Structure 1
């Protein structure tokens, strides 16, 4: 058992100074007062005085097996390591492929997800890559979602991008429809994670689907919506229709487009345009490449995404954009859990999973992380590392 005392708790709503009891992998309860007898069973006591206690962060778009490759084989990005995830306060992670579905494949992705789960964090994955038709693990997208527990949907499918497979509208909608039905059958979200590029058509396929089918708008999660103000304003329209907007936190600040926004800036703009905070989420796009192309589609630079950007941009939203902590933290906790049907994630409440992040009230730095009921980081020191990280 673990008892966390005297911390200011955000569930993510602020509920004040509380004491949290963890039993195994779940939250046993949250109490105003708690007295532990000296002769009671062995308990790990954590004093969270002058600290804030938050739900464990959820990053639902990470290239856990690496990505990239737009500038030749040497530009392939590496697999993510467990300690990197822990330092970023992330306790639940969703892996995906990207542009390369030849040198990276679904078998590798699933194996890496199993490995990270064994090492200490909760993992899920999407089936497919940029391509349509989806390159699945089994012989079909819907079988993947229905029969393989870790697969919760499809993606990231690319549209409006020079690297996409240029699917037709009908191909796109059929993919979403199959993913939805598979989700219904399996009790999963069955969402389609859509990579939206810079091309002028933007998210027109999504608007066409809303106008011409009865598929729920929340079946699609378009990501990279902060890559331009033009695209973000279409996100405002989508959000007002109750659609989900995913903002990417990783960016190369030395090579941002003129009208590109950081995730924190985009969050502020969405809220100023009356988009419901519940419809917005952040993801890091970590380990994916961040390529920059000129007006003729030629690659001019590439860098790599980072999971640390996830919380960094939440902190920027609070300090630079004036957004309240209990609102800002939702975009990496409860909102994501709701969108992806993670029923025991994203909140601090009785019987929820014992995933917590403790931050210093003054510096807002992450000090402690608990994942699946185990202390993964204590006083800034990472305790939970990958199998070969100490070798």
Structure 2
């Protein structure tokens, strides 16, 4: 474009990590400028200031800065934010018994759900996550359900809020579906929050309940459906094969399988043929022992997520960095086992960057998200290239993936609007959000600390037996140095 409409913004003199749709590759524009018009990227220029700009355009100086597409998180549970630091050494069975499922329903109010979701999404925005797929399993009653949805709307983030249907004696599936229809039909097309669906009970529910969930998804043409898929000893086998048999995989609805650590070759081929995606949550999966032996073989249908981010890093930079090095290590081992020295690096920083950006957009069937190109949504992150940790960079992609942290982010723009500017969130009266959140935290954490830990005996969810992991040693004195958890007041 040679001209810009009134009210536009020009990010000037920055290094732009753009994307070429024809070559499907990253392209870098140095000392260039990016024009935002409304909610879209209207122009990318190799000049610091293109000609014929209107006099009232806002010019933001990005000298020595890196302009990146916004990061796309395809698996998160935002309502759980208040439980931060309570489960640093937890196992998945312990987490499910204390922090998910029925236990939180006994103590969480609608206010707790609302302010936890809002604070979590603002935390994500601060970290450059402009789009979040939220697996909302705080569906305990109509009031708490609606609170999580409203917090997503109020956050200013781009959110796919996926209502998780479940079985509750006090809140029937029929009531859940009725409220879900109300939310979906009231959801404005101009809203940054989109109503999606989540369901994990494909195997354990009655055929009638499964059909009811499928019917409402098809009836309302819900754009995104997500489900937890583990398999192996974890038993949660909501596989691509199963959902394909149910007739919902090869449809207009994007289906995101979270984790998929035991995906099979047949499941991987189904993802390719139906263009569906998995969400890899590296930090979470390494923490809980999901292993993920095969995901590097299906990365063209893979994206990245954070998961239960009251325990894990809420930014996608960390997840991309962990996944990059985890994948490198796994593939290197295949060479080293034969006593050979690897002569090439099996995964690049460009690939890791795309996993955290464009791949997430594709998982949601939104090719206009997670990329910088003309016509894409103006969801952008601007890094300060003069920060201590990034000083001296030459390759902007390597700088972001290997050296950047949340503190290096100057600006975050969603749908053409600044949600973080000059290093600070722009949310109105953020201090009041903090106060409300901390009041909720105090009550919820007290209840969680007082709750007895689950007794892990017998078998996990009726499947495999529990096993004991060796406790490693970090101390030369008595004991291993494992230590206590410091949660007392």
State the TM bucket, normalised to the shorter chain. Answer: 0.5 to 0.7
8 Å CA contact retained: 2:34, 2:43: yes
How far the C-alpha of 1:128 sits from its partner, in A, is: 2.9
How far the C-alpha of 1:358 sits from its partner, in A, is: 0.7
1:117–1:43: structure 2 CA closer, same or farther, 3 Å change rule?
farther
In 2: Cα distance, 1:318 partner to 1:223 partner: 12
2:309 — aligned with what?
287
How far the C-alpha of 1:315 sits from its partner, in A, is: 5.2
In 2: Cα distance, 1:10 partner to 1:224 partner: 24
In 2: Cα distance, 1:121 partner to 1:214 partner: 28
Matches within 5 A, 1:87-126: 87-97=126-136, 103=140, 112-113=148-149, 115-126=151-162
Matches within 5 A, 1:1-391: 1-12=8-19, 13-17=26-30, 18-33=32-47, 34-35=49-50, 40=54, 42-66=56-80, 70-71=97-98, 73=103, 78-81=116-119, 82-97=121-136, 103=140, 112-113=148-149, 115-126=151-162, 127-133=197-203, 139-144=212-217, 147=220, 149=222, 151-160=223-232, 162=234, 173-174=242-243, 177-181=246-250, 184=251, 187-189=252-254, 191-196=255-260, 202-203=262-263, 206-209=264-267, 216=273, 218-219=275-276, 221=278, 223-224=280-281, 227=286, 231-236=291-296, 239=297, 243-244=298-299, 278-287=300-309, 304-308=311-315, 310-314=316-320, 325-362=349-386, 363=390, 364=404, 365-384=408-427, 389=433
The structure where strand makes up a greater share of residues is: 1
Bigger CA radius of gyration:
2
TM-score (norm 2): 0.54
8 Å CA contact retained: 1:370, 1:377: yes
How far the C-alpha of 1:229 sits from its partner, in A, is: 9.1
Question: Unpaired runs of 5+ in structure 2?
Answer: 1-7, 20-25, 82-94, 163-196, 329-344, 391-403, 436-489
8 Å CA contact retained: 2:74, 2:303: no
Question: Unpaired runs of 5+ in structure 1?
Answer: 245-277, 289-303
* 3-state SS of 2:130 partner: strand
How far the C-alpha of 1:58 sits from its partner, in A, is: 0.4
In 1: Cα distance, 2:72 partner to 2:307 partner: 12
* 3-state SS of 2:202 partner: coil
2:194 — aligned with what?
none
* 3-state SS of 1:345 partner: coil
In 2: Cα distance, 1:16 partner to 1:128 partner: 39
2:468 — aligned with what?
none
8 Å CA contact retained: 2:281, 2:319: no
TM-score (norm 1): 0.66
How many equivalent pairs are there?
317
CA shift digits 1:330-372 (9 cap, x unpaired): 1111122123311311111111101000112243321111111
How far the C-alpha of 1:83 sits from its partner, in A, is: 2.0
The structure where helix makes up a greater share of residues is: 2
* 3-state SS of 2:249 partner: helix
1:11–1:173: structure 2 CA closer, same or farther, 3 Å change rule?
same
1:22–1:224: structure 2 CA closer, same or farther, 3 Å change rule?
closer
In 1: Cα distance, 2:131 partner to 2:260 partner: 24
In 1: Cα distance, 2:204 partner to 2:42 partner: 41
CA shift digits 1:136-194 (9 cap, x unpaired): 89932353255154x402312453355x5x5698x96146643224xx2xx332x2414
Moved more, 323-332 or 216-225: 216-225
1:41–1:314: structure 2 CA closer, same or farther, 3 Å change rule?
same
1:286–1:80: structure 2 CA closer, same or farther, 3 Å change rule?
farther
In 1: Cα distance, 2:218 partner to 2:15 partner: 39
